[in-house]
Chains A and B, each alone.
Chain A
């Protein structure tokens, strides 16, 4: 039976998408835009956190070397015919790339064409991601390239101060591990382990394709029909980490060649287990709270900026995922410990004296605006689409979810998230 599609629309914000339940087992989403360039994102729900898993029939969990999802991302570009995927893409004019994050691995391209070259590029994307080809020799070679990528991040103070925070915030959860792994862990990677991880996580039922641009669902179906073979769903059991309250170490420092100290101050959020709409609502409640307390219009930002203690690099944001979450306050300061104290004082003050309703309305309004301006760029649309999809949510629902958030919701969020023992200060000091 040929694949058909459904149209899902949000008339208020004038956005819609087509959903194709493709016969291969892959869910495909097309978000039509009249932009010149189109963007395609083929993603698997598999990232650095998925380092311990069990497949149907396995007795025990398998633990794989750190950095393997990222390694796999590099290696999938190799093809059996010897031509790597970049070379094939080059003939279409597509600008291709890939990235591996904590919870997903994404293969993407953008192209200023919605006809033959787009179809060709999409065919290349679907083909190389579904056809792994690894040899011991090619794995060896990649170890050299990835070692240089690791060296580059070792010299990147922003990256270091952030990952140092995560490594010392989480006691058990695999979010504490660097996405690229280490020289040692990547040296343990073999073609065989790559194939094993591939078989587990690169199953079409664990993947999704999102295309944003001036593209029709029909042309996407046509290409998908040609390339994708039907695959039976694979049931993956991911190891559930039991993450307690508290942090590994409340202050952690390292020295690098920087002009002045950089800091990430994390507030770990141990209320996990939410999914879908509830998760998105919680995420935006936390976002509005952070904006009220630490945003550009806040008393905190004004006071510390005016006194020269922070500069416009300061920012606060939140990560709210099913299994982990935190508020992250980052910037540069001569005395990061003082900033930590100021931040804690600010939370305590708001818990004692209450939040301001006008601030709430203002920040909620900003979040509403951002949920709409997110549709201005095809790459951010596709990335946000997949991000929400993998959390069980729909990008078109976000303006409405934000509208539902009340002042009391945000007050509750503040009370729930604030725990002194969950703070961590990560600093990179000058050598």
Chain B
């Protein structure tokens, strides 16, 4: 494997720039992650509106059209801002993706110029009297509200989100990363600008640069160092750690009705293991064997043997220490599916699986980790994830841990699971044949 690993440079208080050299791509990739604490709906809503308002215009490119035309001219470079939840941390991310200079048809320095646009959007916003442009803020508040509401359009996502909300009621993990509609209403140009200043001063910042950048490292490092030099950084940045509940309190079954055709079942467990624990690799292999992927027990039995569904799979959130099993099923078959999902889990707990299944599960996981190198976004996320966990490991190092997992470790991981919540989105369309259109 022709990988050089991570080069990490400190450029300010809790600000790091990280390079991973790769010659696989025709593009270079830069992402700036600003990591704070997931606190409440208002803070989440501010982050969501902020990522949108920043993208609307900066001092040198005051309108979205100017930003987009400039990026188009730079051989379709892109700059995107978004926010996401990482356990109980909330991350504001800004990335830039650009064609390598060698493919330019003229003298355009795509790398320099694109970094310039990214820097202007992120660090040189359009501000008047300590406030963002109120017109921009108002439009983006509307867009933020629509984003919150439109989560209902994707039924399996909606069911997952509802399950987690019930399961983690009272925990910060239940906060919607987009905030609530009433939170968005409280935002204005002034308090948003205050918040913007606050996160620049108080949140850890991790920058990743992936691509053919070996002879540009100093240049890029200086450029980013310069960008942050006038920010008064706090000595201690926000604590973005996640509180973990190791053992579930069984909250029983929750059913919600909706005018849809298919029922969506989501079962939430506490895993008792997080990605900071030594036995995390056991949990990953367990999850592969039990429910992720097309050779898992869930696919094999709930779908292939019983023909109950098109999809049935499990997924883990290693930061929060939860696992969810999701399944789209005919309403009348819900109990059958539920029984089979639990039966398969009991089978793994009691060691009822073959050596071949172990090998397959491990190979599947390893295959996935090796693929990290084939996508610049995955490389950046891999190392960001490791940094937040507190220990930098390469995919190869994690693969070594996976290879050591055997039957006993899988059984142990399975037995640490505790059932928390069963959520069922019950489709009612069959009862109301007129609804649902033509």
Contact = CB atoms under 8 A, between A and B. Distances in A.
Interface of A: 13, 33-37, 84, 86-87, 89-97, 110-113, 141-142, 144-146, 148-149, 151-152, 154-158, 253-260, 262, 295-299, 301-302, 305-306, 308, 311-312, 332, 362-363, 365-366, 368-370, 372-373, 375-378, 431
Provide the main secondary structure of the chain A interface: mixed
B103 A260 contact: no
A378 B374 contact: yes
Of A34, A36, A91, A95, most buried by chain B (CB within 10 Å of CB) is A36
Interface stretch (B37-45, B141-149, B383-391): B141-149
The 5 closest A-B pairs by CB, nearest first: A254-B437, A93-B363, A112-B370, A144-B307, A90-B295
Interface in B337-376: 356, 359-360, 363-364, 366-371, 373-375
Contacts of B154: 156
Given A36-B373, A111-B367, A377-B375, A142 B307 contact: yes
Interface stretch (B66-74, B237-245, B246-254): B66-74
B418 interface: no
A295 B69 CA distance: 10
A259 B146 contact: yes
A27 to B, nearest CB: 26
B137 to A, nearest CB: 12
Contacts of B356: 91
B72 A89 contact: no
Nearest to A428: B437
12 contacts: A93-B367, A95-B364, A145-B309, A148-B330, A155-B155, A156-B154, A259-B153, A299-B65, A362-B69, A362-B72, A431-B259, A431-B436
Contacts of B437: 253-256
B133 to A, nearest CB: 11
Contacts of B363: 90-93
A157 B260 CA distance: 11
A157 B367 contact: no
B308 interface: yes
B75 interface: yes
Nearest to A367: B76
Of A93, A112, A308, most buried by chain B (CB within 10 Å of CB) is A112
Interface size for chain B: under 10, 10 to 19, 20 to 34, or 35 or more residues?
35 or more
A370 B76 contact: yes
Contacts of A156: 154-155
A295 B374 contact: no
A257 B258 contact: yes
Contacts of A84: 304
B371 A110 contact: yes
A368 B106 CA distance: 13
Given A90-B364, A155-B260, A365-B73, 10 more contacts: A84-B304, A110-B371, A111-B367, A148-B310, A148-B329, A151-B261, A297-B71, A298-B65, A372-B26, A431-B435
Given A37-B374, A296-B68, A366-B72, A306 B307 contact: no
Contact of B143 (A257, A311, A368): A311
A85 to B, nearest CB: 10
A91 B75 CA distance: 43
A151 B330 contact: yes
Contact of B103 (A13, A145, A158, A297): A13
Given A89-B295, A253-B437, A376-B25, A148 B328 contact: yes
Contact of B293 (A95, A110, A301): A95
A369 B75 contact: yes
Interface in B114-158: 139, 142-143, 146, 149-155
Nearest to B258: A257
Contacts of B65: 297-299, 301-302
A312 B143 contact: yes
Interface string B426-438: 0100000001111
B415 interface: no
A363 B149 CA distance: 34
A254 B23 CA distance: 49
Nearest to A95: B367
B2 to A, nearest CB: 7
Nearest to A144: B307
Contact of B76 (A86, A302, A369): A369
Contacts of B359: 91
A312 B56 CA distance: 11
Contacts of B73: 362, 365
A152 B294 CA distance: 18
A145 B310 contact: yes
B398 interface: no
B352 to A, nearest CB: 17
Nearest to B357: A90
B27 interface: yes
Contacts of B68: 295-297
Nearest to A145: B307
B332 to A, nearest CB: 12
A131 to B, nearest CB: 19
B24 interface: yes
A387 B31 CA distance: 32
Given A91-B360, A296-B68, A368-B75, A34 B24 contact: yes
Contacts of B26: 13, 372-373, 375-376
Contacts of B375: 377
A164 to B, nearest CB: 9
Contact of A86 (B69, B149, B261, B295): B295
Given A144-B307, A372-B26, A158 B153 contact: yes
Interface in B255-284: 258-262
Interface in B8-49: 23-27
A308 B139 contact: yes
A403 to B, nearest CB: 9
Interface string B53-91: 000000000011100110111011000000000000000
Contacts of A301: 65
B108 to A, nearest CB: 9
Contacts of A254: 436-438
A151 B308 CA distance: 12
Contacts of B178: none
B322 interface: no
Contacts of B369: 112
Nearest to B312: A148
A154 B263 CA distance: 12
B260 to A, nearest CB: 5
A373 B150 contact: no
